Amino acid sequence: MSETNGHHYSALLERVYEVNDLRKAARVLSWDRETAMPQGGAADRTLQIATLHRVSHALYTSDETGALIEAAAGEINGAGYLSTQASLIRFLRRDYDQARRLPAEFVSKMATINGNAIAVWKEAKAKADFTLFAPCLEVLVDLASETAELLGYAEEPYDALLGRYELGVSTAQVDALFQAAKDALVPLYRAIGRRRMRVQDDLLRQHFPVDRQEQFSRYIAGAVGYDFNRGALATAVHPFSTSLSVNDVRITTRYNAFYLASSLFATLHEAGHAIYVQNVLPELNRTLLAKETSAGLDESQSRLVENMIGRSRGFWRAHYPALQRLFPEQLGDAPLESFYRAVNRVHPGFIRVEADELTYHMHVILRFEIERMLLNGELSVAEVPAAWNARMKAYLGIVPPSDDLGCLQDIHWAMVGFGYFPTYSLGSLYAAQFYEAAVSRVPGLHDELAQGEIDSLLGWLRENVHCFGRMLTPEEIALRATGRPLDHHAFVRYVSAKFGEIYDL
């Protein structure tokens, strides 16, 4: 994939590098804000990040960039589909066009409204008072509609919003996938509910000193393939991963001294995100292609590491002894099987980010349904709490006692992030499909995984998913890696088998 670059293509690369560096700088500023910044720096930091975004957006969406793309495109005829050159031009033509559809003033208006909305949302959540947030949410829905109109869509406004995070997937497709998943998951979840006493997680709810949890977080991140020479682990209230370059992809986690699962699975989840970007082809560095190709693909890698590896019996067969050595008083007497069941306990709750592997998707599906209705004018803002609670009742059998535990719990709407939620569940569907494909295509992999040996799996993911970055669309990657477009079957098979066994259904 190393080509000699023509004059125009080189000029385009310089532009792309510049845009990339400015965006990465904004990420460094965000990382620093979450991990090191003193309180006093908050207001100025918001302005600094806004300036970086404004400058990079202006540079990227300039007429000059468009001319550079087309001049370079004229120069690379004959470059193979999987060459960096052809991939970059393909990506830029699509992405530049999308970025141009949102005028600078609109982006700036959105940033202002969003800054204000976050403050209002925080207050409303703290007071558990939806009426405080409702007027704001009206504006946010309008803004989302306006965004959809500017971006354009085929069937309904939600397509445009979804497309920002998951290229090539339509609302109708998501809806069909989610209906099918729901049809399988709700009965499964009900069956588990009747046998819920089989699995307890008390052993995770003891005192686990934070310094040793941190030690284990480093160990376990390394064990799933996270490269600390090109990464770092810090603490943050809301764990995240961030790529400051292909060679500097960092993760954060959080520690709860009285609940071990908190750091364990946050670390594994973020390590999964980070490993994806750490394994992008080195030659894509600084090109804008050195990134997860979609939010759904990104989430597929975090969920695969967190759940399919990190909550598997084989994995803990290999690593539970190390955990026991660190916490002999707490876990010395608990057998592997009890630990395995504890980390796979299914239990309904109000909060999405605390949900188990199974009920999690009910949280996502209800958000998708509500967002879509809001955008289609089928639901008014005032009706959101009732619609939310009715779905919680129908899908999980519980109703939040107040809206802070219900429709006010997530920051996404305040950030004008309509369309993002579905990608969380799409991630699990992709993950199961990739995992199943790997097991069927790599000889001996099933047995290796049963022993907690994951190198072959990671190698397969690297070659079939990670390395491409944004050279290929999520659809192209799924087709290439699994032989079929995304569907719900692998995921339903996976959860049915796993939880059927654990709960003896």
Return the residue of 1, 104, 172, 234 that touches a second copy, per CB under 8 A.
Answer: 234
Our finding on whether 236 is near a second copy (CB under 8 A) is no
3-state secondary structure of 262: helix
Is residue 35 involved in binding a second copy (CB under 8 A)? yes
Cα gap 258→412, rounded to integer Å: 28
Do 213 and 255 form a contact (C-beta atoms < 8 A)?
Answer: yes
- Which residue type, as a one-letter code, is found at position 371? E
What are the residues facing 249 on neighbouring strands? 243
State yes or no: residue 235 binds a second copy (CB under 8 A): no
Nearer CB in complex with a second copy: 52/297: 52
Give the interface segment with a second copy, choosing from 35-43, 82-90, 359-367, 438-446 (CB under 8 A).
35-43
User: Segment contacting a second copy (CB under 8 A): 41-49, 156-164, 394-402, 492-500?
Assistant: 41-49
Among 40, 78, 328, 332, binds a second copy (CB under 8 A): 40
Are the beta carbons of 426 and 486 closer than 8 angstroms? yes
Give yes or no for residue 149 binding a second copy (CB under 8 A).
Answer: no
The answer for residues whose C-beta is within 8 angstroms of residue 182's C-beta and 6 or more apart is 361, 362, 365, 395
For 395, the token pair is: 């899908």
- Considering the rule CB under 8 A, would residue 64 count as an interface residue with a second copy? no
Q: How far apart are CA 74 and CA 451, in angstroms?
A: 52
Least spacing, CB of residue 115 vs a second copy, in Å = 16
Residue 489 tokens read as 């079957």
Span of 61-69, 231-239, 324-332, 483-491 interacting with a second copy by CB under 8 A: 231-239
- Annotated catalytic residue, options 138, 156, 270, 463: 270
Pick one of 2, 47, 77, 328: the residue that binds a second copy (CB under 8 A): 47
Q: Please tell me whether residue 240 binds a second copy under the rule CB under 8 A.
A: no
Distance of alpha carbon 234 from alpha carbon 242, whole angstroms = 11
Tell me if residue 3 is catalytic. no
Q: By CB under 8 A, tell whether 38 contacts a second copy.
A: yes
Residues recorded for the chain: 505
Pairing of strands 233-235, 248-253: parallel
- Using CB under 8 A as the binding rule, the residues of this chain from 248 to 267 that contact a second copy are 248, 250
In this chain, which stretch among 30-38, 75-83, 175-183, 369-377 interacts with a second copy, using CB under 8 A? 30-38
β-strand partners of 248: 245
Contact between 25 and a second copy by CB under 8 A: the answer reads yes
CA distance 48 to 64: 25
Considering beta carbons, is residue 31 or 320 the nearer one to a second copy? 31
Contacts of 317 (CB under 8 A, 6+ apart): 336, 450, 451, 452
Told to check if 209 binds a second copy by CB under 8 A, we report: no
Residues forming beta bridges with residue 252, ordered by sequence position: 234
Among residues 1, 228, 238, 397, which is the contact residue for a second copy, using CB under 8 A?
A: 228
3-class DSSP state of 504: coil
Instruction: List residues bridging with 234 in a β-sheet.
Output: 252
Answer yes or no whether residue 11 interacts with a second copy by CB under 8 A: no
Interface positions with a second copy (CB under 8 A): 17-18, 21-22, 24-26, 28-29, 31-32, 35-41, 43-45, 47-48, 51-52, 54-55, 227-232, 234, 244-248, 250, 285-286
Q: What residues are labeled active site?
A: 270
